[in-house]
């Protein structure tokens, strides 16, 4: 049975399960328009998830074949996974920000082997030991893995503009950080229960009530730009706090109010993490050594292989931010590169 919730004002949500994942489910929102229902995200590409989405749509008084369009907050498979199936069932358009659409195109075009050699080179540069990197050099990604061939979007979400949703005012707010093309969607209509604030915000993974989204690097084998995803994320947080929505409708967990308070908690969390990392950099460390010494939800020795790669990306995102702020610097001539806290200017 699909769990469906009516948020009022022509917005409902369906809990679409993510198999074998502690997050549990994606909240797929169904927004009524004069041309038919539009979905915000679609859920994980799996037969059970699809059945739940289809059942949920019927419980919402519609059906997969009636969907007019699909608005995607970001390209991750728990959000964009079922978009292609929805389009096949209904002829719906799929809209996505250009930066995430570029990732989708690259994923569709890149051979897995290229991806593995790119990751191997990156991890080596981050100071990962050979034993950690070696499996990547011989790996072959199974072709059945979800997310390997994501649906190509057919419309672009342009930051600051209203989406073409007849009868609704839904504005795209670009919130890079979790991914380079992540968007939140601001429903600029009075809250159906007249809660104080400005409309409602579909926040994707950008702003969640009880968890902090992963902020790593924007991994792109074709792009050598030194990006600053954590800096992007912190700026994006301030952007949504300024909107002061009456209610936040996130893609996981549950809806909540007081977005500015949640933004403050997240800003404080990342600031204290940056301060802790700067203290660890009293001695020069590679990103790998830094990740080993950082605080995680379990000891480093218990963190499985795949999660270690995510942890390294998270450490590197924080390092980039510290360097950008002038609070740490790369040690000249170190190989692999090590970072050290910048000397405080003497008084």
Nearer CB in complex with Zn ion: 207/291: 207
Q: Looking at 51-59, 69-77, 225-233, 320-328, which segment touches Zn ion (CB under 5 A)?
A: 69-77
For the CB of residue 251, give the shortest distance to Zn ion in the complex, in Å.
5
Q: Looking at 74-82, 112-120, 260-268, 275-283, which segment touches Zn ion (CB under 5 A)?
A: 74-82
Contacts of Zn ion in 78-117 (CB under 5 A): 78
Nearer CB in complex with Zn ion: 78/247: 78
Question: Can you read off the two tokens belonging to residue 68?
Answer: 């007019």
For the CB of residue 18, give the shortest distance to Zn ion in the complex, in Å.
8
Nearer CB in complex with Zn ion: 76/186: 76
**Torsion angle defined by CA atoms of residues 64, 249, 145 and 152, in that order, rounded to the nearest 10 degrees:** 60
For the CB of residue 218, give the shortest distance to Zn ion in the complex, in Å.
13
**CA distances (Å), origin 237, targets 182, 262, 265, 290:** 12, 9, 11, 26
CA distance 204 to 178: 10
For the CB of residue 191, give the shortest distance to Zn ion in the complex, in Å.
25
For the CB of residue 78, give the shortest distance to Zn ion in the complex, in Å.
4
206 binds Zn ion (CB under 5 A): no
Contact 240, 258 (CB under 8 A): no
Nearer CB in complex with Zn ion: 181/287: 181
Q: Looking at 77-85, 146-154, 226-234, 279-287, which segment touches Zn ion (CB under 5 A)?
A: 77-85
Three-state secondary structure call for residue 330: strand
For the CB of residue 209, give the shortest distance to Zn ion in the complex, in Å.
13
205 binds Zn ion (CB under 5 A): yes
Nearer CB in complex with Zn ion: 26/338: 26
Q: What share of the chain is helix, strand, coil (3-state, %, to 5)?
A: 35, 20, 45
Nearer CB in complex with Zn ion: 202/288: 202
Q: Which residues, in sequence order, are CB contacts of 268 under 8 Å at separation 6+?
A: none
For the CB of residue 335, give the shortest distance to Zn ion in the complex, in Å.
34
Question: Can you read off the two tokens belonging to residue 174?
Answer: 């670009």
Size of the site for Zn ion (CB under 5 A): 3
Nearer CB in complex with Zn ion: 78/316: 78
Q: Which residues, in sequence order, are CB contacts of 64 under 8 Å at separation 6+?
A: 53, 54, 57, 86, 89, 90
Figure out which of the listed residues 12, 76, 122, 206 binds Zn ion, where binding follows CB under 5 A.
76
Angle subtended at Cα 111 by Cα 49 and Cα 97, rounded to the nearest 5 degrees: 55
Nearer CB in complex with Zn ion: 191/262: 262
For the CB of residue 208, give the shortest distance to Zn ion in the complex, in Å.
8
Nearer CB in complex with Zn ion: 169/254: 254
Q: Looking at 76-84, 151-159, 222-230, 327-335, which segment touches Zn ion (CB under 5 A)?
A: 76-84
Contact 29, 39 (CB under 8 A): yes
32 binds Zn ion (CB under 5 A): no
Contact 311, 290 (CB under 8 A): no
Question: Can you read off the two tokens belonging to residue 250?
Answer: 């996130």
* Nearest by Cα to 14 from 60, 46, 48: 60
For the CB of residue 41, give the shortest distance to Zn ion in the complex, in Å.
8
Contact 87, 70 (CB under 8 A): yes
Q: Looking at 103-111, 163-171, 203-211, 336-344, which segment touches Zn ion (CB under 5 A)?
A: 203-211
For residue 240, the Cα-to-chain-centroid distance in whole angstroms is: 15
Total residue count of the chain as it appears in this document: 347
Binding footprint of Zn ion on the chain (CB under 5 A):
76, 78, 205
């Amino acid at each position: 049975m699909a769990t469906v919730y009516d948020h009022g004002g022509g917005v409902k949500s369906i809990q679409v399960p993510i198999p074998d994942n502690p997050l549990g489910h994606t909240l797929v929102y169904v927004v009524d328009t004069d041309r038919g229902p539009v979905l915000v995200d679609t859920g994980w590409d799996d037969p059970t998830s699809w059945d739940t989405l289809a059942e949920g749509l019927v419980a919402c008084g519609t059906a997969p074949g009636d969907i007019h369009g699909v608005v995607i907050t970001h390209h991750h498979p728990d959000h964009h996974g079922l978009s292609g199936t929805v389009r096949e069932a209904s002829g719906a358009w799929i809209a996505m920000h250009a930066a995430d659409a570029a990732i989708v195109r690259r994923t569709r075009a890149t051979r897995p082997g290229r991806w593995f050699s790119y990751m191997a080179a990156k991890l080596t540069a981050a100071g990962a030991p050979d034993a950690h990197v070696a499996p990547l050099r011989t790996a072959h990604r199974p072709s059945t893995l979800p997310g390997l061939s994501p649906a190509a979007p057919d419309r672009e979400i342009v930051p600051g503009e209203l989406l073409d949703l007849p009868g609704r005012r839904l504005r795209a707010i670009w919130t890079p950080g979790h991914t380079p093309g992540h968007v939140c969607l601001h429903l600029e209509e009075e809250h159906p229960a007249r809660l104080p604030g400005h409309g409602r915000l579909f926040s994707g993974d950008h702003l969640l009530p009880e968890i902090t989204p992963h902020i790593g690097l924007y991994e792109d084998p074709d792009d050598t730009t030194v990006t600053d995803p954590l800096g992007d994320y912190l700026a994006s947080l301030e952007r949504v706090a300024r909107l002061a929505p009456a209610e936040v409708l996130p893609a996981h967990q549950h809806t909540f109010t007081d977005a500015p308070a949640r933004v403050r908690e997240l800003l404080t969390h990342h600031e204290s993490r940056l301060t802790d990392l700067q203290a660890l950099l009293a001695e020069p460390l590679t990103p790998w050594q830094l990740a080993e010494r950082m605080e995680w939800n379990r000891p480093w020795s218990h963190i499985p292989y795949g999660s270690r790669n995510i942890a390294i990306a998270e450490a590197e995102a924080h390092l980039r931010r510290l360097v950008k702020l002038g609070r740490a610097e790369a040690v000249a001539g170190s190989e692999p590169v090590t970072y050290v806290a910048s000397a405080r200017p003497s008084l």
